[in-house]
Structure 1
Amino acid sequence: MQSVPLPRTSAPALAALRAAGYHDLSALDGVSMPELLALHGVGPRAIRALRLAMTEHGWALADDDPTVGAAPGGVVEGARGTGRNDNATTVTDVSPEAWVESLPTPRQVEQGRAMLKLFGEVTGERPAMWGPSMVGYGHQHYVYESGREGDSMRTGFSPRAANLVLYVISPGVEDLLKRLGPHKRGVSCLYLTRLDRLDQDVLRDLVRNAWES
C-alpha cells in the first residue's frame, strides 16, 4: 500500500493520531471511526479531513457515520452513496486469496494465509473484500441514531504493515483478552504483531464470539 502523509488538520488531532501509531494515511484504512473519535484531540473536523483525503485513494474508515464532520448545510463531502444508506466501505469483486498473496511483505502474506484458514474454519463462510484492504465474513445492517444506515461485515481481518488487525471485539470478551497474549485493543478491533505468541484456542474463541454475537 502506498505511503501517503496525514492531511492538514489541527495540531492536537495530528499529535493524537501519531501517538496512537497512525503516521500514514494508509494506516487508517478500515480503522473504526468511533475509535478515532475516542482519541483526545480528534473531533468531527479531523474526521472530515481524514475522510476527504482517504476517499481520494479509495480508502475508508470502518463504522463511518457520514453525518460526523459533515460540511455546513448537511452536505457530506467525501461520503459515498446517497440517501439514508451511506456506507463508505462496500464489498468488491477482488479475490481475498489473491489479495493476500499480493501483500508486500512475507509476514503479511503469512498472517493473511493463517487468518483465511482460521476465519474460514470458524465461520464456514467464504471471505469477501470489504473496501481495498479488509477481508470480511458475513454481513450485518446497522442504523445510527442520526437515521443513517449502512452495511458491514460481521467479522474479519486486515494484515497491515505495522500489525495484523482483527475485527473481533464483541460483548463479554474481557476474560478471553486476558488470556490471549500480547495485543493492543481498539474500540472494535485488536492489533496483533506476533501470532506465535498468542493462545491459539483463545484466538479461535474470539473469532467465534464475534461471528456469533
Structure 2
Amino acid sequence: MYEHKTKENDSSAIEFIESVGNSKKREDAYKLLDIFTETTGYPAKMWGPSIIGFGSYHYKYASGHEGDAALVGFSPRKAKISLYFATGDEKREELLKNFGKHTTGKACVYINKIADIDVDILKALINQSVLFLRETYPEE
C-alpha cells in the first residue's frame, strides 16, 4: 500500500528556517511564517523535512487513496520559494492574475522573494485555499 511521504512531524519550523543558507530567503521565510500564521490562525508544523504547513485536512479520492495534508504551506527551497495552495478552484487562478512575479507548477506557486508579490493577494490566496479545502473535505 502506498504511504504518503509528506507527513506532519514534530520538527521545529524555526530550526528549519534557521538552516536555510541564504539570508534573504531566510528573512522572507520568517515573513511568510508570520503571514501564514496570522492569516490561518494555525501554528506552523513541519510536513516532511522541508514544508512548513498550517492546519490539516483528511482527503479521500474516488480511487480509495486517502491521507492527510496541510491546508496551506510554504518551503524556502534553494531555487525558489514554493507556496502550497489548494488546486482545482478557479478563484485561485483569478487571484494569481494580480499576484505579482510568480510561476506555477501542478500544485505549487513559485516566487523568488516576497518583494515580487502582493501580500494582500497572498493572504487572499491563503484564505481561499483554506475555505475551498474545508468545503471540499469537511471534517467528519
Alignment TM class, shorter chain as reference: 0.7 to 0.9
Residue from 28, 39, 51 that aligns with 1:134: 51
- Output the aligned Cα RMSD: 1.5
Shift of 1:87: 2.2
Determine which of 62, 79, 86 is the counterpart of 1:145: 62
- Show the counterpart of 2:125: 206
Shift of 1:156: 0.4
Aligned residues: 130
- Per the TM alignment, residue 129 of structure 1 is displaced from its structure 2 partner at its CA by 0.3
Moved over 6 A (4+): none
Paired amino acid for 1:97: I
Out of 90, 103, 112, which is 2:20 matched to?
A: 103
Moved more, 95-104 or 152-161: 95-104
8 Å CA contact retained: 2:71, 2:86: no
The share of aligned pairs that are identical, in percent, is 36
2:92 alignment partner, one of 152, 173, 194: 173
Q: 5+ residue gaps in structure 1?
A: 1-75, 80-85
1:149 and 1:176 map into 2 onto residues whose CA distance is 28
Aligned to 1:20: none
Contact preservation (8 Å) 1:169, 1:190: no
Larger RCO, structure (CA 8 Å, separation 6 or more): 2
Three-state SS of the structure 1 residue aligned to 2:9 is coil
Q: Which residue is 2:71 aligned to?
A: 154
Cα deviation, 1:53-90, whole Å, max 9, x if unaligned, reads xxxxxxxxxxxxxxxxxxxxxxx6xx5xxxxxx32211
Q: Pairwise mapping of residues 51-62 of structure 1 onto structure 2 (< 5 A)? A: none
**Change beyond 3 A, Cα 1:168–1:148:** closer
Q: Is the 8 A contact 2:28 2:113 kept in 1?
A: no
* Separation in structure 2 between the aligned mates of residue 93 and residue 198 of structure 1, nearest angstrom: 30
SS of the aligned residue for 1:138 comes to: strand
Match of 1:120 in 2: 37
Aligned to 1:186: 105
Q: Deviations over 1:25-55 (max 9, x none)?
A: xxxxxxxxxxxxxxxxxxxxxxxxxxxxxxx
Letter in 1 for 2:124: D
Structure label with greater radius of gyration: 1
Structure showing the higher strand proportion among its residues? 2
Which residue type is aligned with residue 24 of structure 2? R
Secondary structure of 1:125's aligned partner? coil
Unaligned 5+ runs, structure 2: 133-140
